[in-house]
Amino acid sequence: MAESENQTGSGQGERAPFEFVGDSRRMLRRLRDVMAQGGTDQERLDQIVQIVAADMKTEVCSIYVRRADNMLELCATEGLNPEAIHRTRLRVGEGLVGDIAARARPHALSDAQSHPKFAYRPETGEEIYQSLMGVPVLRSERLLGVIAVQNRTRRRYADEEIETLETFAMALADLLSSSRIFGGEDGEGSRSAPTRLTGLSIVPGISFGTVHLHRQPLVIRRAVAEDPEIERARLEAALSILHERLDRLMEDTPLAQTGEHTEVLQAYRMFAQDRGWLSRMRDAIDNGLTAEAAVQHGLNDTRARMGRITDPYLRERLHDFEALSDELMGDLADAASPVDAAAARRAGPPDNAVLVARNMGPADLLAYDRENLRGVLLEEGSATAHVAIVARALDIPVIGKVEGILSEAETGDPVIIDGDNAQVFLRPADEVREQFERSVEARVAARARFADLRDTPCVTLDGTPVSLLMNAGLLVDMPQVAATGADGVGLFRTEIPFMARREFPDVEAQTTLYKAIIDGAEGRPVTFRALDVGGDKNLQSFATEAELNPAMGWRSMRILLDRPSILRQQIRALIRASADRELRLMFPMVTDIAEFDRAKAIVNREIERADARGQNPPSSISLGAMIEVPALLWQLDNLLPRVDFVSIGSNDLFQFIFAVDRDSDRITRRYDTLAPAFLRVLRTIARSCDDAGVPVTVCGEMAGRPLEALALLGLGYRRLSMSAASIGPIKEAIMSTNYHEITDFADNLLKNNGNHSRGALAGYARDHGISV
């Protein structure tokens, strides 16, 4: 769907939708005739805008072409002032036309001049036109321009009209991609300079490699169909090849047989059967497009529809449709060959390949030789993307949301991936590469030191033991417990495996998963966090309404107590999986003691149920609460006698203490986790737990950063849970520290009420030879 005012009803002065008489097939035939004629590109564009204006009953049709300098130039118009042609230019993002280009999304506005993006250009004479509809002209995901129509009245454009203009724009892309209208400029600009890009770390790691574009541009050489029946047959044959390949992948790939990866690939195969996606492609062929153009049209339409969805998990599923469309385009391109099209296109990545794509599906990644891969860079993508789960299993660094990587990178470019810090160095200068190589050498040496410490107990210089635990969320994480020498799993996020599933897992499926997790810990304790959904963690199988402030809305414990069957099933599965072994379970986002009491009562009922059925019970059961909501700080005296342990979720506690959205780039750096106010809160919790004899663990991101871990040690914390990669550095820092000295230092620091805690702690570490 376009961003539109059409759905808001008719306002004053608006006219009902025109009776749409434009026939997309007739328009495409006329476009084909124009392109087959002789003449200059300018003459062809002039005829095209006349065709569209006449067939769609608009007073204006204009074509803007993207120049090499990323400006959009008015190159043809029917209805606007002809003198504006080649004079009017807009930056990408400027005005409504620029906004269409920047977002690669249509606009359909009945009152365009009231839109905040409207930019008036007096030389065009467009002040008399009220409504506007425009769509991007794209080829292989590269913006070529924008085609827009306008009317004097407040016309409400119908969805069919938007789809028709999109279809026409795909055919127009053939002309613009080969146009010499700017004297041979290709619109690409220079892409040889060294470039640093940043993104979101999805799978950490560092590597050097060579860019390989995952989606080598597949040019749609013919958009208008000669015979729709032939095109329909080509599409169906390609779909059959695609479905057969996915079936073979499920049967023949070892990774598809166990753990979360099975769910990921099953969901991916299910998307390939999506009726809406299939019907949109078939309808596009009926409207006059070739099979290739129909696949692109179906993808564009899916992008527009899913682009309006706010649920992060569902938005990620758009990436699966993009990956499927890519595979389907490849099959169509090589349909005459018996060689598997997707495999043929991916047979030649260079050694040390770094894959670059807008998005990737899990099957795409598995099609490559793991020994050749050094990393993945995605222009979109997130930690909930299906490809992230597979990449984590393969231990391949991945950075997502690398804005501009597709327009900047070319196959063969040298690239450095710093997945730990979410940065990309494209075509790095020699001095950058040399510096990075030295940094990598230092990291390798540090990892060797950490490996030597793996089996050494974590004890301070003065003999105080500190327990280092690992955070996990997938079955594939569990081998890292032994590999890092962690004392166990301090936080297992049970919601993450659920996010890979289309359906909510039943008790049997959960039991199998939890048993495998406990087995994977090899006798070390595992603390499970009850399902923590809502906020920014939504499941496809459990829909929640959008909220203005989801972090403080219906989430976590509130959902579990309002939907107790979910909690009962999870507890039932955990009891079964923990038969004759320890069960440790903590409840997230407890706000009131009564919430913990209700959850504990559910656990007791499930234990009684298991006993009545003759099931072997866990050897012991420990129940805990997560301290994340500030209200619980004033209930500690009543809470601590009720629990076996507590864990501090420092991420949420910090954002609630400071009333800060931790996802906001504008304000997250304004407040510091080492601020005295926050340190005092943490010290209060630590002392209360010590007085009550209740073990306390910090399991947020704070515990995994050496300087912050040093501060936590000074506040009295002796149990920290962190990512696998952080255990080595934290252990080295703690083993270089005197516990009593750092606690005295922290006390004095807070007594002096200084506002420079971070600098003071860094100075202490430097003076005492502690690596932070």
Q: How confident is the model at residue 214 (pLDDT cuts 50, 70, 90)?
A: confident
Residue 618: DSSP 8-state: B
**Which residue reads 């690409």 in tokens?**
188
Taking the CA of residue 254 as centre, how many other CA atoms within 13 Å lie in the half-sphere pointing to its CB? 2
What six digits make up the tokens of 443? 């990291």
Mean pLDDT of 471-483: 86
Lowest mean pLDDT, pick from 149-158, 163-172, 579-588, 687-696: 163-172
d(CA 596, CA 561): 10
- What is the DSSP code string of 334-363? TTTSSS-HHHHHTS-PPTTEEEEES---HH
The percentage of the chain sitting over the pLDDT mark of 90, rounded to a whole number, equals 39
More confident position, 179 or 527: 527
CA distances from 216 to 138, 151, 213, 319 (A): 15, 39, 6, 17
Residue 668: DSSP 8-state: G
Burial of 594 (0-12, 13-18, 19+ CB in 10 A): exposed
Q: How many C-beta atoms surround the C-beta of residue 696 within 10 A?
A: 24
d(CA 296, CA 328): 10
Mean pLDDT of 161-186: 73
pLDDT surpasses 60 at 9: no
Lowest mean pLDDT, pick from 95-99, 345-349, 681-685: 345-349
Mean pLDDT of 133-151: 87
Average pLDDT, the chain: 82
pLDDT surpasses 60 at 391: yes
Q: Which of 261, 319, 386, 689 is catalytic?
A: 386
**Residue 386 a catalytic site member:** yes
Q: Single out the residue of 474, 497, 493 nearest to residue 721, CA to CA.
A: 493
Helix H or strand E encompassing 710: helix 706-715
pLDDT surpasses 60 at 314: no
Q: How confident is the model at residue 263 (pLDDT cuts 50, 70, 90)?
A: low
Q: How confident is the model at residue 477 (pLDDT cuts 50, 70, 90)?
A: confident
Q: Is 701 helix (H, G, I), strand (E, B) or coil?
A: helix
Mean pLDDT of 407-411: 82
Q: How confident is the model at residue 355 (pLDDT cuts 50, 70, 90)?
A: very high
More confident position, 212 or 535: 212
Q: 729 near 446, Cβ under 8 Å?
A: yes
pLDDT number for residue 537: 58
pLDDT number for residue 487: 97
Mean pLDDT of 261-271: 61
pLDDT surpasses 50 at 426: yes
More confident position, 442 or 654: 654
pLDDT number for residue 724: 86
pLDDT number for residue 341: 40
pLDDT surpasses 70 at 185: no
More confident position, 622 or 533: 622
More confident position, 434 or 540: 434
pTM of the model as a whole: 0.60
pLDDT surpasses 90 at 473: no
pLDDT number for residue 318: 61
d(CA 303, CA 298): 9
pLDDT number for residue 8: 36
More confident position, 108 or 173: 108
pLDDT (tens digit per residue) in 53-72: 998 999 999 999 988 777 89
pLDDT (tens digit per residue) in 607-642: 999 999 999 999 999 999 999 999 999 999 999 999
CA distances from 273 to 240, 294, 310, 320, 321 (A): 11, 16, 24, 12, 11
Per DSSP, helices labelled H in 354-469 are: 362-366, 386-394, 405-408, 430-453
Q: 383 near 361, Cβ under 8 Å?
A: no
pLDDT (tens digit per residue) in 108-132: 999 999 998 898 889 998 889 999 9
More confident position, 305 or 452: 452
Per DSSP, helices labelled H in 454-504 are: 479-484, 495-499
What six digits make up the tokens of 587? 């409840």
Mean pLDDT of 187-199: 65
Q: Is 473 helix (H, G, I), strand (E, B) or coil?
A: coil
Q: Dihedral sign, CA of 605, 609, 612, 618?
A: negative
Burial of 248 (0-12, 13-18, 19+ CB in 10 A): exposed
Mean pLDDT of 214-225: 68
pLDDT surpasses 50 at 454: yes
pLDDT number for residue 345: 45
pLDDT number for residue 505: 81
Residue 529: DSSP 8-state: E
Q: How many residues does the chain have?
A: 772
pLDDT number for residue 315: 54
pLDDT number for residue 20: 44
pLDDT (tens digit per residue) in 699-709: 988 998 899 99
What six digits make up the tokens of 625? 């609460």
Q: Bridge-partner residues for 471, per DSSP?
A: 491
Q: Is 244 helix (H, G, I), strand (E, B) or coil?
A: helix
Q: 493 near 527, Cβ under 8 Å?
A: no
More confident position, 495 or 339: 495
pLDDT (tens digit per residue) in 143-157: 889 999 999 999 999
pLDDT surpasses 60 at 594: yes
More confident position, 464 or 92: 464
Q: How confident is the model at residue 252 (pLDDT cuts 50, 70, 90)?
A: low
pLDDT number for residue 65: 93
Q: How confident is the model at residue 485 (pLDDT cuts 50, 70, 90)?
A: very high
d(CA 111, CA 501): 43
More confident position, 79 or 33: 79
pLDDT number for residue 15: 45
pLDDT surpasses 50 at 484: yes
pLDDT surpasses 90 at 443: no
More confident position, 167 or 543: 167
Taking the CA of residue 153 as centre, how many other CA atoms within 13 Å lie in the half-sphere pointing to its CB? 14
